[in-house]
């Protein structure tokens, strides 16, 4: 008997963090909403045309990488040495195939390199010069590291580097007070996590996830966060859910956060909402972890959970109009 096609669902995030509603201008808020809406709509159109969840996720993340408002690709943050090191990962829930790259500085679209690693199949994670050599061999577009630079990110590094901090704990009240007078951007870019990601369920009932990031401002050269680590910041399994995370990467690694969501569903029989709530509001805070995640389960249920003031996010179900949000209820 022929089964009806699954209603496709797409969700994206552009990072979580301390995003102050009280100091955000209408124009800045609108710029983020417009970018999120356009990217969700593009991926939604692909899914409605029958594209795979993996294709839709990769396209959404590519568009996020190309947008300077977000910390991935063009507009990525700087390391302490004023360089760029980018990470990305993709995972196909239908096969559990995964690919990732870490610490790259010349690959224009890191998510494409991660997808190429997945398709090659020999390895899951390639880093640094080896990842870049692989990308060149696959004919991917290469750029000079300056391609990723923006003056806003450079100024951000100079502000943060002067404090001797690695921008991570965006909820510290003392840091908020100390930086309030220095921040030139009302949506305090110095204290938000700019990782981007996408999760999708396609018409065939398959799930996928993709994540990309420039890391943390003023991070030590060579630091790798959770985004390219399968099971930490990115995971997808058709039996449970697809997950993409954003936040204090070291804590997400320690908690194996993305996989923990799926494991709770598989072994504990809990719902997506219960699993994501436990990870985001209990497991991570217990070890000082802040941030959020987006997730879709095999039934099309959606969770956009975060334990910070806000998370840039957007989603669409079927042919319904895309919905975007920055603040508000962390379950939506």
Q: Does 165 count as an annotated binding residue?
A: no
Helix (H, G, I), strand (E, B) or coil at 80: coil
Nearest-5° Cα angle at 230, 96 to 298: 45
Q: Does 269 count as an annotated binding residue?
A: no
Q: Are 57 and 198 in contact (CB under 8 A)?
A: yes
Bridge partners (DSSP) of residue 297 are 241
Q: Does 83 count as an annotated binding residue?
A: no
Q: How many Cα atoms are found within 13 Å in the side-chain-facing hemisphere of 9?
A: 21
DSSP 147: G
What burial class does residue 263 get, using C-beta atoms within 10 Å of its C-beta: 0-12 exposed, 13-18 middle, 19+ buried? middle
Q: Does 249 count as an annotated binding residue?
A: yes
Q: Are 76 and 265 in contact (CB under 8 A)?
A: no
Cβ contacts of 48 within 8 Å, gap of 6 or more: 8, 318, 319
Q: Does 50 count as an annotated binding residue?
A: no
What burial class does residue 137 get, using C-beta atoms within 10 Å of its C-beta: 0-12 exposed, 13-18 middle, 19+ buried? exposed
Q: Does 248 count as an annotated binding residue?
A: yes
Tokens (6 digits) for 181: 């007078």
Neighbours of 93 (CB within 10 A): 29
Catalytic, out of 195, 213, 234, 240: 195
CA dist 135 and 141 (Å) reads 8
Tokens (6 digits) for 260: 């923990």
195 is catalytic: yes
Neighbours of 246 (CB within 10 A): 33
Annotated binding-site residue numbers? 223-226, 246-249
List the catalytic residues: 195
Annotated binding-site residue numbers for substrate? 223-226, 246-249
């Amino acid at each position: 008997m022929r089964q009806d096609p699954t209603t496709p669902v797409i969700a994206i995030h552009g990072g979580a963090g301390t995003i102050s509603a009280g100091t955000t201008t209408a124009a800045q808020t609108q710029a983020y909403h417009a970018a999120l809406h356009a990217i969700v709509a593009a991926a939604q159109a692909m899914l409605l045309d029958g594209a795979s969840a993996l294709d839709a996720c990769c396209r959404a993340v590519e568009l996020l990488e190309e947008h300077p408002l977000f910390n991935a690709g063009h507009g990525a943050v700087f390391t302490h040495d004023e360089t760029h090191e980018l990470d990305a990962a993709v995972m196909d829930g239908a096969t559990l195939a995964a690919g990732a790259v870490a610490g790259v500085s010349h690959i224009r679209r890191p998510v494409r390199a991660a997808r190429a690693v997945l398709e090659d199949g020999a390895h899951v994670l390639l880093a640094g010069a080896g990842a870049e050599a692989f990308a060149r061999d696959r004919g991917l577009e290469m750029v000079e590291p300056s391609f990723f630079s923006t003056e806003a990110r450079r100024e951000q590094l100079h502000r943060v580097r002067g404090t001797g901090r690695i921008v991570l704990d965006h909820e510290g009240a003392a840091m908020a007070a100390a930086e309030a007078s220095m921040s030139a951007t009302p949506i305090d870019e110095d204290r938000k996590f700019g990782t981007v990601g996408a999760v999708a369920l396609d018409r065939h009932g398959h799930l996928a996830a993709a994540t990309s990031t420039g890391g943390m401002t003023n991070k030590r050269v060579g630091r790798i966060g959770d985004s390219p680590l399968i099971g930490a910041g990115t995971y997808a399994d058709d039996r449970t859910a697809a997950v993409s995370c954003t936040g204090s990467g070291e804590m997400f690694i320690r908690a194996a956060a993305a996989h923990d969501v799926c494991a709770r569903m598989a072994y504990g029989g809990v719902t997506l909402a219960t699993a994501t709530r436990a990870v985001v509001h209990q497991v991570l805070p217990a070890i000082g972890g802040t941030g959020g995640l987006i997730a879709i389960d095999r039934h099309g249920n959606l969770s956009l959970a975060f334990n910070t003031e806000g998370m840039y996010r957007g989603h669409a179900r079927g042919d319904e109009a895309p919905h975007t949000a920055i603040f508000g209820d962390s379950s939506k």
